[in-house]
Structure 1
């Protein structure tokens, strides 16, 4: 069974990861010591809280089941469990990458997301 989790990243940062073959994280991930992800239910709130008004973003879907023990669900804002990867994201675990454009209302326009 797949366990799909999501990463929001600036396109320039993600394209660098594609060139290298792996993603080591955004500056906040590197500072925190793990890569932050969101579940389908958390992705919109993450975009609104941490990426408000930002354009040039991508939404990356990852099969969390392939990440093994390096993926941990830990308590974060509001007591919710968020997926955190303690390691490098190998791009072979990426299911798809889609643009995350801003809509006329200033909110990010998400594709349909699969729940875990």
Structure 2
């Protein structure tokens, strides 16, 4: 199963440069790295990143994260994936820009 992490461009650049990250400020505050499923992604971006300039959408194969990935109830009573370890650059199977369009961020075609 694929899951997604949204980064500001500077956060993605830091991950690429350092090879790993403990996440964004919200991740550090909560003690885990927040992810979304494809079905949760648009709502996540609208709620937490509305108006942000270009974002980077990182795709992760959840099955490769092992026991450090926990599915926990969060927004709206839905289970969200949370990673309880650093995210490594090598965990990413793909990444894409989420630029701002006229009606918000523009998502890749494979995101529902």
TM-score relative to the length of structure 2: 0.95
Measured against aligned partners, the alpha-carbon deviations of 1:45-90 in whole angstroms (never above 9, x if no partner) come to 0000000111121101011111000000100011000000000111
Q: Which secondary structure does the structure 2 equivalent of 1:6 belong to?
A: strand
The number of residues matched between the two structures is 112
Measured against aligned partners, the alpha-carbon deviations of 1:9-35 in whole angstroms (never above 9, x if no partner) come to 101111011111112100000000000
Tell me by how many angstroms 1:113 deviates: 3.2
**Structure 1 match to 2:36:** 38
Whether the 8 Å CA contact 1:4–1:114 is kept in 2: the answer is no
Farther-moved stretch of structure 1 (36-45 vs 54-63): 54-63
Instruction: List structure 1 segments (4+ residues) > 2 angstroms apart after TM superposition.
Output: 112-115
Choose from 85, 88, 94 the match for 1:90.
Answer: 88
For 1:45 and 1:112, locate their aligned partners in 2 and report how far apart those are by CA, in whole Å: 16
Tell me by how many angstroms 1:114 deviates: 6.2
Q: CA RMSD in A?
A: 1.2
TM-score relative to the length of structure 1: 0.92
**Structure 1 match to 2:53:** 55
Whether the 8 Å CA contact 1:14–1:23 is kept in 2: the answer is no
Higher strand share: 2
For 1:47 and 1:4, locate their aligned partners in 2 and report how far apart those are by CA, in whole Å: 17
Segments of structure 1 that go 5 or more residues without pairing to the other structure are none
Tell me by how many angstroms 1:7 deviates: 0.5
Segments of structure 2 that go 5 or more residues without pairing to the other structure are none
